[in-house]
Amino acid sequence: MNVFSDMVASFKIWAGNVTASFGFWINLAILALVLFMLSRVVIQSARVSRRMRRTSPLSEHVPDPDVTQRAVGRLSGMLRHSTITGAREPLKQQGEYIQTTYAQTLNKLGCLELPSGSMMLRWKARARTDALPVLFCSHLDVVPAGDGWTRQPFSGVTAGGKIYGRGAIDSKGTVIAMIEAVESLLAEDFAPGRDIYFAFGHDEETGGAEGAGQIAELLGKRGLQFDMVFDEGGFIVESLMDKADCAAALIGIGEKTTCTYKITVKAQGGDSSVPPPHGAVGFLAEAVCRIEASQPRIKMLPATREYLEKCFPALSFGKRLAVGNMFLSRPFLGAIFRHDYRTMALLRSTLAPTRLQGAEHENVIPAAVSALIDARLLPTESPEDILAHIRGLVADLPAEVEIVKMGDSVPMTDTAHPMYQLLARSLDEKYPRLPCIPMLLSGGTDSKHYGHMTDCVLRFSPFIMSYENAATAHGPDEYLTESALGLGIEFYKTFLRKL
């Protein structure tokens, strides 16, 4: 103890001598560093802010009322079908509804309805061309309704300028907007300059293997390659990060890989009236707590760096200081963004316990219980990397960890790609000076099944919405505003014309 005290005293004496001898220069160096960091923030703010616009002009756009109301009625009808993934009969009925509602449009395009319930449309070019076709994707299935709804989840009710129903955002709204845009262009005698395909899968919410996977196999047998694959993804958000007056178009240029891990714990079971010191449920609870508390390490991908830099004007001062000086602040980004779960999901792979299995009776201690962990992996990490991470966390527990579902990694799209630039120009034409911000999607889409057919996959749903609106997807009272649907149709028309 005396030795430690002597060491502390010696350090204080040394520090005092250094400060006395070099205090002026130390303080000057600290001041210079602070001024340098602040100057980087000012320069970055000025450089990016010129491209930012306020949200108020977004509200000035009013869609065609006739087109909008027709689309609202059709989306409302589509939302009445409870097409939860795996529900064959509702999916069949919804397919019949689409065939009846858009009979003339589908006849002109040509529609292939797969036995599984997925659909594929082909809009032929007006003349023979060497240009590669493009593929637009969406899906027809939805997740279960869940609890907390104040309206019937499959009623398609409209109220206050909003269309309510499971799938309104994810992703029946995009299906209706795409077909409505095509129907409107056909009424204007427009024909595209290249072939345009539309693929609507029936099982995207569980990975898309039978839907998009089979469509991709069919297209592959035809030897098709695409100039672009365009799927659901980011939105036009009215507010960005910490600022309510910054709007932006968030465009997904990549997505995380989805994997599922299973943790199985085995321990002494028996009658709950004579419990052992530690049961399988307790061990599993400990494992789950450790996993939630010890997420994988933060890794700064180039796409995430670009995303944060382009969000610069929408950040609070403290976050600007950190993002503008990441050569110093990178080790502290986790603490700086710890309350911003959307950004944290872009900075690291995530692990989320979702299902518990094994405990069936209230008065019996189970001998084995398990938990499923839904993992979303950064492109730089492999399923085996995360498996090793989880095993390390529970190494001292009677737990076994295995991979039960492994997704495929998807290449990132270069923002210099002509199709990305075409999308940006289309957005600028419709919403002048609206910044386009590339990002990595934390969720998965059907587009991963077509990644080997193109070098450009863009994930964007052209709907204007708030974060609160976007959060209703997969949640209670999911809704899409009528104006967002109408403007989405108009944007698809603008984009399709440029292809």
Please, are residues 439 and 347 in contact by the beta-carbon 8 Å criterion? no
Percent of the chain with pLDDT over 70: 89
| pLDDT at residue 210, as a whole number | 94
pLDDT tens digits along 279-300: 999 999 999 999 999 999 999 9
What is the CB neighbour count within 10 angstroms for residue 27?
11
Least confident of 20-34, 69-83, 141-155, 455-469: 20-34
Q: Is residue 240 located within the same domain as residue 93?
A: yes
| pLDDT at residue 355, as a whole number | 92
Segment 243-265 mean pLDDT: 91
Reply yes or no on whether the pLDDT at 454 is more than 60.
Answer: yes
What is the domain count for the chain?
2
> pLDDT grade, residue 277 (50/70/90)?
confident
Residue 1, in any domain of the structure: no
Reply yes or no on whether the pLDDT at 231 is more than 90.
Answer: yes
Domain that holds residue 342: 255-406
> pLDDT grade, residue 176 (50/70/90)?
very high
| pLDDT at residue 51, as a whole number | 56
Instruction: Give the CA-trace dihedral at 204, 207, 209, 210, to 10 degrees.
Output: -40
Collect all residues with Cβ–Cβ distance below 8 Å to 317 and sequence separation of at least 6: 41
| pLDDT at residue 164, as a whole number | 98
Residue 416, in any domain of the structure: no
| pLDDT at residue 14, as a whole number | 61
Q: Is residue 203 located within the same domain as residue 89?
A: yes
Residue 244, in any domain of the structure: yes
Closest CA to 118 of 210, 29, 33, 43: 210
Collect all residues with Cβ–Cβ distance below 8 Å to 475 and sequence separation of at least 6: 146, 148
Segment 417-429 mean pLDDT: 95
Least confident of 29-38, 229-238, 305-314: 29-38
| pLDDT at residue 443, as a whole number | 85
Q: Is residue 379 located within the same domain as residue 467?
A: no
| pLDDT at residue 56, as a whole number | 47
Least confident of 46-55, 118-127, 363-372, 418-427: 46-55
Residue 104, in any domain of the structure: yes
| pLDDT at residue 410, as a whole number | 82
Closest CA to 139 of 121, 119, 123: 119
Q: Is residue 142 located within the same domain as residue 106?
A: yes
For 346, the token pair is 């872009």
Distances (CA, A) of 55 to 235, 433, 451: 14, 11, 34
Q: Is residue 161 located within the same domain as residue 102?
A: yes
Reply yes or no on whether the pLDDT at 244 is more than 80.
Answer: no
Q: Is residue 231 located within the same domain as residue 368?
A: no
- State whether residue 299 is helix, strand or coil: coil
204 given a catalytic annotation? yes
Least confident of 22-31, 121-130, 297-306: 22-31
Q: Is residue 214 located within the same domain as residue 330?
A: no
What is the CB neighbour count within 10 angstroms for residue 344?
17
Reply yes or no on whether the pLDDT at 114 is more than 50.
Answer: yes
Q: Which of 183, 195, 203, 204 is catalytic?
A: 204
Reply yes or no on whether the pLDDT at 54 is more than 50.
Answer: no
Reply yes or no on whether the pLDDT at 55 is more than 50.
Answer: no
339, with CB counted inside 10 A (0-12, 13-18, 19+), is exposed
Q: Is residue 399 located within the same domain as residue 465?
A: no
Q: Is residue 244 located within the same domain as residue 267?
A: no
User: Given 406, 440, 465, which residue is the final one in a domain?
Assistant: 406
Reply yes or no on whether the pLDDT at 3 is more than 60.
Answer: no
What CATH number does residue 226 fall under?
3.40.630.10
pLDDT tens digits along 373-415: 999 999 999 999 999 999 999 999 999 999 999 888 788 999 9
Residue 221, in any domain of the structure: yes
Segment 81-99 mean pLDDT: 95
| pLDDT at residue 311, as a whole number | 87
Most trustworthy range by pLDDT among 123-127, 133-137, 255-259: 133-137
Reply yes or no on whether the pLDDT at 59 is more than 80.
Answer: no
Q: Is residue 243 located within the same domain as residue 262?
A: no
| pLDDT at residue 433, as a whole number | 84
Q: Is residue 290 located within the same domain as residue 402?
A: yes
| pLDDT at residue 432, as a whole number | 87
Q: Is residue 293 located within the same domain as residue 324?
A: yes
Residue 85, in any domain of the structure: yes
Least confident of 50-54, 68-72, 237-241, 492-496: 50-54
